[in-house]
Structure 1
Amino acid sequence: MKLFILVCVLGLSLAANPRLQKMEEMLNDLTRQLVSQQFYVEERIRSDGDSGIKQVRRLSAGTDSFNSETTSAIHSHPNYKDVIGFGEVNAVLNGVEFRTRHNDYSLEMPSLHKANYHLTEKIPYPQVPPSVTAKHTVPEQIAEMKEYFRAFRLQNSTIRNYKPYFKPVLCYMEGNWEWDTKHLHEPFHSETHHLDAMDYDNLADKVRLMSYTGMNDLHEDLAFLPKKIMDIDSNGKPRYAQWIYRILCNPIHSDVPLKVFKPIDDVAFRVTRKYNMSTYSRTEEARFTVAASANQAEFDEHEGYGKFEDRAYAKGLLDSLMHGVPGANNYRGGQHDTEFNHTALVAGEGRDRPENTARYHREYKLHHGMQINQRGFSDSNLWMAQNHQNKVASVILRSCKTVGTLKTNCTSTTEKFSYAIPLEIIYLNPLHSWNPYNLDMKNESEVTENGRKGDSHNANLAYKGISTLHFYQTPVEFFGNVPGQDVGVLDPKGAIHRVMASGIQTILPKIPGVGEVRQRWPIYPLHREGDSVGKEADALLEMLNHMSSMSPIFQEPATQGKHETVQPDLHFRLTSSHMNPLDRHDHEFFVPATDWEQLLKNDVWVHVLTAPTEGENQESHSHSLQIRLDKHTHKPIIQKCDDQNGKCWDGHTDFEQVTFHEF
Structure 2
Amino acid sequence: MEIRLRYLLAALFMGAALPSVRASRVVMAFEDFHERFQASYIRNQQLKKIVTDLSRQVMLQQFFVEEKIRSDGSSGIKLIRGGTKGLDNYDSNSHTSNYFMAIHDHSNYDRTIGMGEFSAVLNGLEFRTRHNDYRMVMPSTTSGEIDAVEDIQFPGVPPEVTSKPTVKEQITEMQEWFKAFWMQNATERDYTKYFKPIISYLEGAWTLNKGLIESFASDRHHLDASSWFELQEKNRFSAYSGVKTRLENLAVLPTTIMDVNETTGQATYAQWNYRILNYPLKGDFPLKYFYQADDVAARVSRGWTRPEIMEKRSARFRISRGTDPQNYQLLDEIMYQIPGKNNMYSNLSQIMFGDDGMYHFGKSNKNVKLDTGRYHRWYKSAQKDAMGINAVARGFNDDFCFVAQTTQPTIASVEMEECRRRVCQTNRNSFSYAIPLEIIYLTPLLTWNPYNLTIHQGLDIVNRDGRDGTDSNSKAYDGVDSNHYYLTPTEFFSGFVEGDPADTVRNSVFVRGPDKKARVQTSASGTQIMLQAIPGLGRVRCRFPIAPVHSEGSTVGKEVSALRDMLTGYLRAPPDMVTFEMSSNGDHVHRFNITYRDFLRLINDRLPITAVSEEVHGHSHTLDFKFFRISTNFKYGTCDGQDRCPDGHPKVIIMLTNNVFTELPLPGNA
Q: TM over 0.5: same fold?
A: yes
Match of 1:476 among 475, 490, 509: 490
Match of 1:541 among 564, 569, 582: 564
SS in 2 for 1:416: strand
Q: 1:518: which partner in 2?
A: 541
The change in CA–CA distance for 1:497 and 1:341 in structure 2 (over 3 A counts) is same
Q: 2:56: which partner in 1?
A: 32
Counterparts of 1:340-419 in structure 2, within 5 Å, are: 340-342=353-355, 343-351=357-365, 352-369=367-384, 371-398=390-417, 409-419=423-433
Q: 1:263: which partner in 2?
A: 292
Query: What is the one-letter code of the residue matched to 2:338?
Result: V
The change in CA–CA distance for 1:349 and 1:19 in structure 2 (over 3 A counts) is same
Q: Deviations over 1:257-299 (max 9, x none)?
A: 00011100011111122111111111111000011x3657xxx
Q: Is 1:105 matched up with 2:134?
A: yes
CA displacement at 1:548 relative to structure 2? 11
The change in CA–CA distance for 1:547 and 1:435 in structure 2 (over 3 A counts) is closer
Q: 1:41: which partner in 2?
A: 65
Equivalent-residue separation in structure 2 for 1:400 and 1:15 (angstroms)? 39
Q: Is 1:120 matched up with 2:149?
A: yes
- More deviation in 446-455 or 479-488? 479-488
Query: What is the one-letter code of the residue matched to 2:358?
Result: A
SS in 2 for 1:69: coil
TM-score (norm 1): 0.76
SS in 2 for 1:391: coil
SS in 2 for 1:417: strand
Q: Deviations over 1:108-164 (max 9, x none)?
A: 000012211110000011001111111110011111111110000010101310001
Query: What is the one-letter code of the residue matched to 1:423?
Result: L
Q: Deviations over 1:50-94 (max 9, x none)?
A: 000101001121121111223222111111111101110011000
CA displacement at 1:482 relative to structure 2? 3.8
Q: 1:487: which partner in 2?
A: 509
Counterparts of 1:235-634 in structure 2, within 5 Å, are: 235=263, 236-291=265-320, 293=321, 295=323, 313-342=326-355, 343-351=357-365, 352-369=367-384, 371-398=390-417, 409-442=423-456, 443-456=458-471, 458-480=472-494, 482=496, 485-493=507-515, 494-546=517-569
The change in CA–CA distance for 1:170 and 1:137 in structure 2 (over 3 A counts) is same
Query: What is the one-letter code of the residue matched to 1:491?
Result: G
Q: 1:20: which partner in 2?
A: 44
Q: Is 1:62 matched up with 2:62?
A: no
Query: What is the one-letter code of the residue matched to 1:197?
Result: A
Query: What is the one-letter code of the residue matched to 2:329?
Result: G
CA displacement at 1:107 relative to structure 2? 0.3
Equivalent-residue separation in structure 2 for 1:401 and 1:350 (angstroms)? 30
CA displacement at 1:322 relative to structure 2? 0.4
Native 8 Å contact 2:196 2:441 kept in 1: yes
Identity %: 43
Native 8 Å contact 2:453 2:479 kept in 1: yes
The change in CA–CA distance for 1:239 and 1:281 in structure 2 (over 3 A counts) is same
Query: Quick check: which has more Rg, 1 or 2?
Result: 2
SS in 2 for 1:445: coil
Equivalent-residue separation in structure 2 for 1:516 and 1:132 (angstroms)? 21
Match of 1:171 among 200, 214, 218: 200
Equivalent-residue separation in structure 2 for 1:317 and 1:25 (angstroms)? 51
Q: Deviations over 1:340-395 (max 9, x none)?
A: 34201011433211100100000000112573210000100100000100000001
Equivalent-residue separation in structure 1 for 2:490 and 2:571 (angstroms)? 47
Equivalent-residue separation in structure 1 for 2:152 and 2:35 (angstroms)? 60
Equivalent-residue separation in structure 2 for 1:39 and 1:162 (angstroms)? 49
CA displacement at 1:12 relative to structure 2? 9.5
Counterparts of 1:97-246 in structure 2, within 5 Å, are: 97-180=126-209, 182-235=210-263, 236-246=265-275
Native 8 Å contact 1:455 1:461 kept in 2: yes
Native 8 Å contact 2:437 2:545 kept in 1: yes
SS in 2 for 1:240: strand
Native 8 Å contact 1:14 1:20 kept in 2: no
Equivalent-residue separation in structure 2 for 1:11 and 1:376 (angstroms)? 54
Native 8 Å contact 2:78 2:94 kept in 1: no
Native 8 Å contact 2:358 2:381 kept in 1: yes
CA displacement at 1:22 relative to structure 2? 2.6
Equivalent-residue separation in structure 2 for 1:435 and 1:286 (angstroms)? 31
Equivalent-residue separation in structure 1 for 2:349 and 2:420 (angstroms)? 26
Native 8 Å contact 2:303 2:669 kept in 1: no
Equivalent-residue separation in structure 2 for 1:11 and 1:420 (angstroms)? 57
The change in CA–CA distance for 1:388 and 1:480 in structure 2 (over 3 A counts) is same
Q: Deviations over 1:425-469 (max 9, x none)?
A: 00000000001001111233221122211113x101111111111
Equivalent-residue separation in structure 2 for 1:103 and 1:341 (angstroms)? 42
Equivalent-residue separation in structure 2 for 1:231 and 1:398 (angstroms)? 14
TM-score (norm 2): 0.75
RMSD of aligned residue pairs (Cα, Å): 2.7
Q: Deviations over 1:560-603 (max 9, x none)?
A: xxxxxxxxxx99xxxxxxxxxxxxxxxxxxxxx99xxxxxxxxx
Native 8 Å contact 1:476 1:482 kept in 2: no
Native 8 Å contact 1:348 1:372 kept in 2: no
The change in CA–CA distance for 1:409 and 1:366 in structure 2 (over 3 A counts) is closer
Equivalent-residue separation in structure 2 for 1:14 and 1:427 (angstroms)? 72
CA displacement at 1:338 relative to structure 2? 1.4
SS in 2 for 1:128: coil
Unaligned runs of 5+ in 1: 297-311, 403-407, 550-569, 572-592, 595-657
Q: 1:93: which partner in 2?
A: 122
Native 8 Å contact 2:161 2:170 kept in 1: yes
The change in CA–CA distance for 1:51 and 1:61 in structure 2 (over 3 A counts) is same
Q: 1:643: which partner in 2?
A: none
- More deviation in 151-160 or 14-23? 14-23
- More deviation in 244-253 or 270-279? 270-279
Equivalent-residue separation in structure 1 for 2:78 and 2:413 (angstroms)? 26
Query: What is the one-letter code of the residue matched to 2:557?
Result: G
Native 8 Å contact 2:52 2:262 kept in 1: no
- Total equivalences in the alignment: 529
SS in 2 for 1:444: coil
Equivalent-residue separation in structure 1 for 2:420 and 2:375 (angstroms)? 34
CA displacement at 1:243 relative to structure 2? 0.2
Equivalent-residue separation in structure 1 for 2:452 and 2:83 (angstroms)? 41
CA displacement at 1:16 relative to structure 2? 7.2
Equivalent-residue separation in structure 1 for 2:405 and 2:570 (angstroms)? 45
Equivalent-residue separation in structure 2 for 1:517 and 1:11 (angstroms)? 84
SS in 1 for 2:381: coil
Equivalent-residue separation in structure 2 for 1:61 and 1:11 (angstroms)? 69
